[in-house]
Chain A
Amino acid sequence: MIQDKARIIREIEQIVGPKGVVHEEDELRVYETDGLTIFKAMPDVVVLASTAEHVAELVKLCQREKIPYVPRGAGTGLSGGALPLDGGVMIGMNRMNRILEVDYDNKRAVVEPGMVNVWLTNAVGPRGYYYAPDPASQIACSIGGNVSENSGGVRTPKYGVTTNHITGVEVILPNGELVSLGGKTLDAPGYDLLGVFVGSEGTFAIITKVIVRLMRKPEAVKTLMTVFENLEDASNTVSGVVAAGIVPVSMEMMDNNSIVAVEKGVGAGYPTDAGAVLVIEVDGPRAEVEALVDPIRDICKKNNVREVRLAKDDAERALLWKGRKAAFAAMGQISPDYYVQDAVIPRTKLPQILQQISKFSEEYGLRVANVFHAGDGNLHPLILYDSRNEGELEKADEMGSKIMKACISMGGSITGEHGVGREKREYMPLMYTDDDMEAMKKVKRVFNPDGILNPGKIFPTTTPDVKVGLAGQRPIVEKVVGQM
């Protein structure tokens, strides 16, 4: 809790004006959680910044008063990254949502951090361009959040993740200074500050501008929906495509629970009795794309495919994708609650990990819906539970940690695109030694020396959590004093 809150609010109002400040408890509720609703923490005050100058002044105020502060974009994050764990000031970036410049000749756009991901593609689409990273939440999530989390999406097997599409950012450092990392051109001399900044989960500085690559739309796209009796055949198809030297844009898989949920939710035309649906998309020059379809069909056949449906037109293609993109939202059709994991495994380990997850599911008596980026081994097992049943959330949580551990033991990672945030910080030692993490903390110290910008994230903390009350389904709100 901020000391002398009334004075601080007055000062904040002088910076952004009274309309940019939220501090009544009922209004603050909106900001107490992000896309991962099992964690909750309430800010003392939310400030809606409209300019980089606002952000700089707010940062200086927070630093001077030693008030913890955290930036927040659209609040769609799935790791509790934007939670104000220690209360304090939340700086909302949604008002800074403009596309400042589109430079087709140089293949760049300059945007504000609160700009919604899909707006850019919508804006440049008519001219034959798009912005490649497309997280499932792209109709809501902001580009600043994407940069902070290094978000992925369904195009990553071919086009990579956010970091591959950002050439510059302008940020406000905790000392209040505005600096540009990278720019429109490549290979800025010196350390790759931009590279280490992307994916720093809002713990280094606050983004006020982003320079992104614009991609030329491909000449042709082919989308195949392939239907299998079981996950193993579908997984082997993924390996087969990779082994054939084909780099598809996407290879997205859904298991039967997911298919059923999607069909109840949006009706994408997936057969509800199938064991797995694998959506494969290839794009590029027409002759190349056409030459890839038959080999992919052959690989599917070798792996006992039941049906291959090639989208006839853009409408059919959009429908196939609608199902995949709506999968998380559709889970409400088959379960009151779900807990999504984000672990990654080497692609060849897909059949093994899916068997393992199925065993855990039996062991814990909780259903799992698997919706995942098979093309890059990024799993999203959705553990289905009912928070009204005593102990189910805890079971889901425990099962989630078992899945992460299993993935690590297969040489994987605990998060592919959602970030560590608050949620997975205790699991960092599964992947990294103390020395590995110390190297990371050195970088954090350079940007955020006293740790009051977005405290309590990424690294396991030795400060015991002080649970200050029930928040939603479980006590989670905690006191974490900048531990670095």
Chain B
Amino acid sequence: MLSEESLVQRLSALVGPEHVVAGAEVSGYAVDGKTPKAAAFPGSVEETSAVMTFASAEGLKVAPWGSGTKIPFGGIPERVDLVLGLRRLGEVVDYVPEDMTATFQAGTPLKDAQAVLGQKGQWIALDPPHAERATIGGVLATNSSGPRRLRYGSSRDFLIAISVVHADGKITKGGAKVVKNVTGYDMPKLYIGSLGTLGIIVDATFRVYPVFPVEKTYLAPFPTAEAEQQVLNKLLDSTVVPNAVELLNPDAARRTTAQAGLTWQEGSYGLAVAIGSVPEAVQAQIAAVERLCREGGSSQGHILEGTVHHTFWQAVGDFSLGDGQQAVLKASVLLTQVAQAVRMGEAVAAKAGLSLGIISEAGSGIVRYYLSGDRPDRFQQGLAEAVSTLRTFAQATGGSLVVLEAPPDVKGAVDVWGSVGNTFPLMQGLKDQFDPQRILNPGRFVGGL
């Protein structure tokens, strides 16, 4: 194994000494408490490739790093020798507004990409948590998405091409910069959500969408999650075309509405339905949603527009319970089981004495549980119980539950991913093919891959 000094020297030769971090400063790049020997920030795809060629020759374990917003995601790494930071890969590679395709380097903050596209009235249809800081590469590697996936799908639905630096430094591309393409296997999808364990994403091409002339939200209070489920079923069976349908438990509804400056009746669940279209269609559909909510037992709701609308959705994306130990779990369940998943979460949190915020992309069957606790001993045990109970529930009907964020000691006590059943040999096979030395994020992916 290289000494730290020669490691820094070698990396400096590849990316320039000013782009290598080592010594005390590198502790800021620890992954689950595992501190790398160095962090390197290549300035080009070629430099990224050179760093990986070097890392594979030396057997260095590498953790890719965008802006760090999703670093708590995944299992605890076996070892981290080198953090490979992508922040200098921030170029707009290619953007033809009339073709509605755009290519960005992986280190580009999503927000910056949206700003470029926004000048032409377009956007990448992704609104993941921490959207203010997340990078394109990180969003893709963690398959992060947000409320508007109901309308547009997730990254897999509009990522059309990708370039990747492999463990051995080879650079390959998959897909094409056209909106329809079936030439060869659909490689972009393989890298989405692979947490950098198959290769390092260096650029990505998206099919982009026009921004709607208007988007507004109808936010309705409900006495129970079950009442919301009924309305959800009816809404999804109607001809209303919502951009997002979000269910919030009373705590999440209280906090997010407070941030948006809205009054909220304590103890009420929230159902937020965002509608995007031309003004007259927004108005007609908001009215239809309001009618459905009223018939479903909701009292007077809010129509959110302009700054309030924007602030509310930002509060949803950046939701956090504040102080104490925190964890975020994400369940994927059948659309008809959202209310039940909410109830299960409430029961398990109450039993364990944990605070609970729930934000559910109800129209997509995604339920996010935000849990926190003041007492570390109880937190760890309570969380393990929550993971077990909620996972059993989700898996019973073919769903899943993953831990998105948790302190390392808690992660050590639970299976972050859950079982992937008899598909595991295929996943292991892919890892063996793409990274036979296991140098990319070893231990962080499903089954310890």
Enumerate chain A interface residues (CB-CB to B < 8 A). 104-107, 128, 149-150, 152, 156-157, 160-161, 163-164, 173, 177, 179-181, 183-193, 195-196, 198-200, 216-219, 239, 242-243, 245-247, 284-288, 291-292, 344-348, 373, 376-378, 411-420, 424, 428, 431-433, 435-440, 442-447, 458
Distance to closest chain A CB from B369 (angstroms): 15
Q: Are B156 and A106 neighbours in the complex by a CB distance under 8 Å?
A: no
A-contact bits for B191-227, CB 8 A (1 contact / 0 none): 0111000100000000001110000000000000000
Q: Is B68 an interface residue (CB 8 A)?
A: no
Residues of B within 8 A of A432 (CB): 173, 183-184
Q: Which of B172, B177, B280, B445 has the largest count of A CB atoms less than 10 A from its CB? A: B172
Q: Which of A150, A195, A218 has the largest count of B CB atoms less than 10 A from its CB? A: A195
Q: Are B420 and A247 neighbours in the complex by a CB distance under 8 Å?
A: no
A428 to B, closest residue via Cβ = B184
Stretch of B57-65, B310-318, B333-341, B371-379 on the interface side: B333-341
Query: If the complex has contacts A413-B176, A415-B183, are A447 and B426 also in contact, measured as CB distance less than 8 A?
Result: yes
Residues of B within 8 A of A184 (CB): 334, 397-398
Q: Are A186 and B180 neighbours in the complex by a CB distance under 8 Å?
A: no
A423 to B301, CA, bound (A): 59
Q: Is B78 an interface residue (CB 8 A)?
A: no
Residues of A within 8 A of B335 (CB): 105-107
In chain B between 131 and 181, which residues have their CB closer than 8 angstroms to a CB of chain A?
143, 153-154, 156-157, 164, 166, 170-174, 176-181
Residues of B within 8 A of A424 (CB): 183
Q: Are B365 and A186 neighbours in the complex by a CB distance under 8 Å?
A: yes
Query: If the complex has contacts A185-B400, A187-B143, A436-B172, are A420 and B422 also in contact, measured as CB distance less than 8 A?
Result: no
Q: Are A291 and B429 neighbours in the complex by a CB distance under 8 Å?
A: no
A203 to B, closest residue via Cβ = B185
Q: Are B198 and A417 neighbours in the complex by a CB distance under 8 Å?
A: no
Q: Is B98 an interface residue (CB 8 A)?
A: yes
Q: Is B277 an interface residue (CB 8 A)?
A: yes
A106 to B399, CA, bound (A): 13
Of the candidates B101, B182, B280, B420, which one forms a contact with A189 in the assembled complex, judged by CB atoms under 8 Å apart? B420
Q: Are A435 and B185 neighbours in the complex by a CB distance under 8 Å?
A: no
Distance to closest chain A CB from B231 (angstroms): 13
Q: Are A416 and B98 neighbours in the complex by a CB distance under 8 Å?
A: no
A411 to B, closest residue via Cβ = B177
Q: Are B426 and A192 neighbours in the complex by a CB distance under 8 Å?
A: no
Q: Are B178 and A219 neighbours in the complex by a CB distance under 8 Å?
A: no
Residues of A within 8 A of B194 (CB): 191-192
B361 to A, closest residue via Cβ = A186
Of the candidates B96, B182, B399, B426, which one forms a contact with A446 in the assembled complex, judged by CB atoms under 8 Å apart? B426
Q: Are A192 and B192 neighbours in the complex by a CB distance under 8 Å?
A: yes
B210 to A, closest residue via Cβ = A245
Distance to closest chain B CB from A132 (angstroms): 12
Distance to closest chain A CB from B161 (angstroms): 10
Query: If the complex has contacts A378-B180, A411-B178, A420-B183, are A195 and B434 also in contact, measured as CB distance less than 8 A?
Result: no
Q: Are A287 and B278 neighbours in the complex by a CB distance under 8 Å?
A: yes
Q: Is B238 an interface residue (CB 8 A)?
A: yes
Q: Which of A152, A286, A418 has the largest count of B CB atoms less than 10 A from its CB? A: A286
Q: Is B258 an interface residue (CB 8 A)?
A: no
Could you write out 17 A-B pairs with CB less than 8 Å apart? A107-B335, A186-B154, A193-B426, A219-B239, A284-B281, A287-B278, A344-B181, A348-B98, A412-B178, A415-B181, A415-B183, A432-B184, A435-B170, A442-B434, A443-B185, A445-B429, A445-B433
Q: Are B99 and A196 neighbours in the complex by a CB distance under 8 Å?
A: no
Residues of A within 8 A of B389 (CB): none
Residues of A within 8 A of B237 (CB): 104-105, 128, 216
Q: Are B157 and A164 neighbours in the complex by a CB distance under 8 Å?
A: yes
Enumerate chain B interface residues (CB-CB to A < 8 A). 96-101, 121-122, 143, 153-154, 156-157, 164, 166, 170-174, 176-187, 189-190, 192-194, 198, 209-211, 233, 236-241, 277-278, 280-281, 283-285, 330, 332-336, 364-366, 394, 397-400, 402, 417-418, 420-424, 426-427, 429-430, 433-434, 445-447
Distance to closest chain B CB from A164 (angstroms): 5
A201 to B157, CA, bound (A): 19
A412 to B177, CA, bound (A): 7
Q: Are B430 and A346 neighbours in the complex by a CB distance under 8 Å?
A: no
Q: Are B186 and A288 neighbours in the complex by a CB distance under 8 Å?
A: no
Q: Are B427 and A191 neighbours in the complex by a CB distance under 8 Å?
A: yes
Residues of A within 8 A of B98 (CB): 239, 242-243, 347-348
10 nearest CB pairs, A to B: A195-B189, A245-B210, A288-B281, A219-B239, A446-B429, A287-B281, A442-B433, A183-B398, A413-B181, A413-B176
Distance to closest chain B CB from A201 (angstroms): 8
Q: Are B179 and A189 neighbours in the complex by a CB distance under 8 Å?
A: no
Query: If the complex has contacts A185-B365, A191-B190, A416-B182, are A247 and B277 also in contact, measured as CB distance less than 8 A?
Result: no
Distance to closest chain A CB from B218 (angstroms): 14
Q: Are B236 and A416 neighbours in the complex by a CB distance under 8 Å?
A: no
Q: Are B402 and A243 neighbours in the complex by a CB distance under 8 Å?
A: no
Residues of B within 8 A of A373 (CB): 180
Q: Are B176 and A187 neighbours in the complex by a CB distance under 8 Å?
A: no
A425 to B126, CA, bound (A): 35
Query: If the complex has contacts A163-B186, A199-B185, A446-B433, are A284 and B241 also in contact, measured as CB distance less than 8 A?
Result: yes
